[in-house]
Structure 1
Amino acid sequence: MSETGSARFAGRFLDPSLIARTYRDPLAWMSLATDLVPIAAILVFGWGATPLVALYWLENLIIGAYTILRLGGAAVVSFINLATALFMIPFFTFHYGMFCYGHGLFIRSFAGGEGNGGGAAPMDLVTWALGSGDGMLWFVGLIIVTNAVFFLVDYIGRGEFRRTDPPAEMFAPYGRIVTLHVAIILGAFIAIATDERLLGVLILIAIRVLFGIVLSLLRRMKLDGGLGKLAGKFAQPV
């Protein structure tokens, strides 16, 4: 994509009609509400940065599980997709699992005195993340339900599984991990520079919310048929 084309594409996100169409869909509001719910965790349960980044890490695991379901759904369309999925599902499970494992170790280490400790096995990281903040299971459950709704409505109900590209499905979740990684570093830097931990936490949430809004806009563009293959790679909305 040329520089002019990239600028034109980026400008579409500021199109009022696109924003209006996006948020006429109740699912877009559901996605936004799910992204904003961590604010309640801060206010009600007194969450700091550690449980927040642990929640976002657990969200990546949930996204990975739904990606496996999406790959499995694509497998029923054709023999080529079936053969591709039989290779990609175990490959993705291992590769994405190791990616999340390394990121989980980084997050727990980054938590320092607030949440460090425990074994290095994958389930030790999951146990640590689930126990890092009060009410964590409720928030994880909400993310699971939100993803289930999108999976049933878009992927199954709208027949996305018939049109999807298995390689694109496999690579789609990695952008979330990169976004979270950047958000953690940026939020921590600002928190340290300003000596305001709450500010760093709010920045983490703001980056995640902005990322979710972009995904919702991409989803709308995909549903409108105006994004082509690019949407198939990035327009998973939650």
Structure 2
Amino acid sequence: MGDNATIRHGHMSGRFFDPAVLARTFRDPLTWLSLVTDLLPILAIILLQWGPTPLVALYWLENLVIGAYTILRLAGSATGNIAKLGAAIFLIPFFTLHYGMFCYGHGVFLKSFASNAGGGDGMMDIVRWAVGSGEGMPVFLAIIVFTNAVFFAVDYIGKREFVTANPAAEMFAPYGRIVTLHVAIILGAFFSIATDQPLLGVLILIVIRVVFGLVLSVLRRLKLDGQLGASLSAFEQAG
């Protein structure tokens, strides 16, 4: 069993770094849409003097956007048979509560580290704090909403992914984003403190997010090519 798993892992890694797969990935306009969206915070840093607080607030708001589209994906996955319909009916409120509390706890954590972060600690208080944490934040948030809408329309609706979607896999897909953001924040804070260079921490946050987005783009290409295992197929939608 272990040898088979090693072989499958090696085969997957080989496909992931296959030049032909990478070429097809970067020929896809949606890959570039995702990459440009991930790189836009650099403009906020250069032109609007964003620091770490608005950047992590933007990524937190992005998690909320992903959660909203996950609910739409769960609703779409209800088509096909009674079992999937029943699963979706149960999982949509469960996901809304569980993921909402997950994001709430994450938001409280982020807001507690922000300087001059007044207001209450309710969910909407944190949302208002995040939206107002940096100049131009609504514009960047709108771009994220638009990018996710394009992926949802092209892949989930246009390519009829909802027909074969697994409600349970769809529900768990967004959680990897929060883990990635936590890791990015910890690494960024570590390098900022160690080097006394706050800008370095901000750039590390962006680099980790961009790399994460590129990984998701390659996974999406493997899925479209029919080379992605069912256990990973939902994970790539979290970009």
Q: TM-score, normalised by structure 1?
A: 0.96
Partner residue in 2 for 1:17: 20
2:77 aligned residue (69, 74, 77): 74
1:190 counterpart = 2:219: no
1:203-218 alignment runs, 5 A limit? 203-218=204-219
**1-structure distance, mates of 2:162, 2:51:** 39
Paired AA for residue 88 in structure 1: L
**1-structure distance, mates of 2:238, 2:124:** 27
Q: Check conservation: 1:219, 1:231, Cα contact below 8 A.
A: no
Please tell me the root mean square deviation across aligned C-alpha atoms, in Å: 1.2
Q: TM-score, normalised by structure 2?
A: 0.96
Paired AA for residue 188 in structure 1: A
SS at match of 2:237: coil
Aligned length: 236
Per-residue CA deviations over 1:26-73 (Å, capped at 9, x if unaligned) read: 001000000000001101110000000000000000000000000001
Partner residue in 2 for 1:91: 94
Q: Check conservation: 2:174, 2:238, Cα contact below 8 A.
A: no
Displacement after TM superposition at 1:4 (Å): 4.3
Displacement after TM superposition at 1:208 (Å): 0.2
Q: Check conservation: 1:169, 1:232, Cα contact below 8 A.
A: no
Partner residue in 2 for 1:202: 203
SS at match of 2:119: coil
Partner residue in 2 for 1:51: 54
Range that drifts further, 53-62 or 2-11: 2-11
**2-structure distance, mates of 1:184, 1:11:** 30
Partner residue in 2 for 1:126: 127
**1-structure distance, mates of 2:117, 2:108:** 9
Query: Which stretches of structure 1, 4 residues or more, deviate above 4 A after TM superposition?
Result: none
**1-structure distance, mates of 2:50, 2:10:** 38
Partner residue in 2 for 1:145: 146
Displacement after TM superposition at 1:5 (Å): 3.1
Displacement after TM superposition at 1:18 (Å): 1.0
Identity of aligned residues (%): 64
Q: Check conservation: 1:35, 1:212, Cα contact below 8 A.
A: yes
1:35 aligned residue (22, 25, 38): 38
Per-residue CA deviations over 1:142-181 (Å, capped at 9, x if unaligned) read: 0000000000000000000001100000000000000000
Partner residue in 1 for 2:221: 220
Q: Check conservation: 2:119, 2:125, Cα contact below 8 A.
A: yes
Q: Check conservation: 2:173, 2:238, Cα contact below 8 A.
A: no
Partner residue in 1 for 2:182: 181
Task: Give unmatched runs, 5+ long, in structure 1.
Answer: none
Q: Check conservation: 2:177, 2:238, Cα contact below 8 A.
A: no
Task: Give unmatched runs, 5+ long, in structure 2.
Answer: none
Q: Check conservation: 1:216, 1:237, Cα contact below 8 A.
A: no
